[in-house]
A = this chain, B = another copy of it.
Amino acid sequence: MAQSVCWSAVAGGVTAPVGFQAAGITAGLKDSGKPDLALLMAPHNAVCAGTFTTSVVRAACVDLCAERLQTSEGFCRAVLINSGQANACTGDRGLIDSQRATQVLADRLGLSSDQVLICSTGVIGVPIPMQLLLAGLDPLVEALAVDGGSAAAKAILTTDLVEKQIAVEAEIEGRIVRIGGMAKGSGMIHPDMATMLGYLTCDAGVPSEAWQAMVRRAVQRSFNAITVDGDTSTNDTFLAFTAGEPLPADQLDRLEQGVTLVAQYLARSIARDGEGATCLIEVLVEGAASEADALQMARTVCGSSLVKTAVHGRDPNWGRIVAAAGRSGVDFDAQAVSLWIGEHQLMVNGQPLGFDREAAATYLRARASGHYLDDDAVVIRLLVGSGPGQGRAWGCDLSDQYVRINADYTT
């Protein structure tokens, strides 16, 4: 087992780690006049790990990021983020625009274009107004600052109700290591007009391969464990930069705890800020054959429309939870299942228990959305056997408000 270390919250978001700068400005890409152009700049020799949408239909910027991370072997330095237009399904023009934006920015920063990435979020099928974006690059670079994390976190939002950023620090081997993060996602985890974007920064030196593996595992346990409507975006991107004094190999487990913590915080924030959502739902599956099995079951329960509507109605309708687990594609013994909603046990070894329905409903009603409180999630726990696999997933309830938001989006 990895030794634990205490990570505590600090200010600064993605610019909390030493050497990182960021900026966020209004370039006029959004009709609303809100900030819409952000830049995150990593120090020399930063290592970057990237994770992207698995959709076959990917935005041009996603193709460009994946290719450049490969070409540069992870040594990318800067990422430009525009909000308002997703630059997906924009035909050949999409890639040309992405290349042009990063080329101009690279020249301005004195970098090769291979070291500059771009992420876009907004409406699918609408091209980026390039005149406005290019005109914004000079003021954007001028705004770069070691305390620019908050400005950047604001400029990447689309329909989000709140900004999502965090920074933590811990003492490892006598030195302070900091990890920062920001994300956006407007309530549904993978909506077409509200891509999931996430960024993480860290000031510890970590070999590229170890960093890639650590980030991959953290993403699996965070962004890949949230679901709102199962619709994977064409633009989903998570980029994690680290640069700094090398950390001893035997301390990497401790660092990974921090990386996972930050990624999970951001992922939960996205689920909680669900369009129309009134509460965060956390599903914990224990006793599965493997972590992958447990995660798959937890995500299936979290994604079930019937579970989501039941929670919205504050209805402890446990049959829906077990039914969703049953269709998750994971094999398990239905006779071994025990189930809890909060502290209320509803099932043991596949047999229903008499339970206080009113008390369970009261537990659910108490979980109304206070944004960003840590203890307000509706917790559903499933014990499905005696295996070592444990997994946790997050989602939110499904409300009539969600339907109205998405039915009326462009008309």
Check A319 against B88 for contact (C-beta < 8 Å). Answer: yes
Say yes or no: is A224 at the interface (Cβ < 8 Å to chain B). no
Q: How far is the CB of A186 from chain B (nearest CB, A)?
A: 12
Check A323 against B192 for contact (C-beta < 8 Å). Answer: yes
Q: How far is the CB of A255 from chain B (nearest CB, A)?
A: 32
Contacting residue for A400 out of B123, B233, B347, B400, CB 8 A: B400
Say yes or no: is A411 at the interface (Cβ < 8 Å to chain B). yes
Q: Could you say which residues of chain B place their CB within 8 Å of the CB of A326?
A: 55-58, 232, 234
Contacting residue for A313 out of B230, B310, B400, B407, CB 8 A: B407
Contacting residue for A403 out of B192, B231, B334, B400, CB 8 A: B400
Q: Could you say which residues of chain B place their CB within 8 Å of the CB of A323?
A: 55, 57, 88, 124, 192, 231-234
Say yes or no: is A107 at the interface (Cβ < 8 Å to chain B). no
Query: This chain: how many copies in the complex?
Result: 2
Nearest B residue (CB) for A318: B125
Of A13-21, A108-116, A198-206, A301-309, the one touching chain B? A301-309
Check B125 against A315 for contact (C-beta < 8 Å). Answer: no
Check A89 against B305 for contact (C-beta < 8 Å). Answer: no
Annotate A32-59 by CB proximity to B: 1 below 8 A, 0 otherwise.
Answer: 0000000000000000000001111110
Contacting residue for A229 out of B57, B306, B318, B407, CB 8 A: B306
- In the bound assembly, the distance between CA atoms of A312 and B407 in angstroms comes to 6
- In the bound assembly, the distance between CA atoms of A123 and B352 in angstroms comes to 13
Known: A319-B89, A324-B231, A352-B89. A313 touches B406 (CB 8 A): yes
Query: Can you name 5 A-B residue pairings with CB atoms under 8 Å?
Result: A57-B327, A230-B305, A234-B322, A309-B403, A361-B411
Say yes or no: is A171 at the interface (Cβ < 8 Å to chain B). no
Nearest B residue (CB) for A309: B406
Known: A323-B234, A325-B57, A350-B89. A400 touches B410 (CB 8 A): no
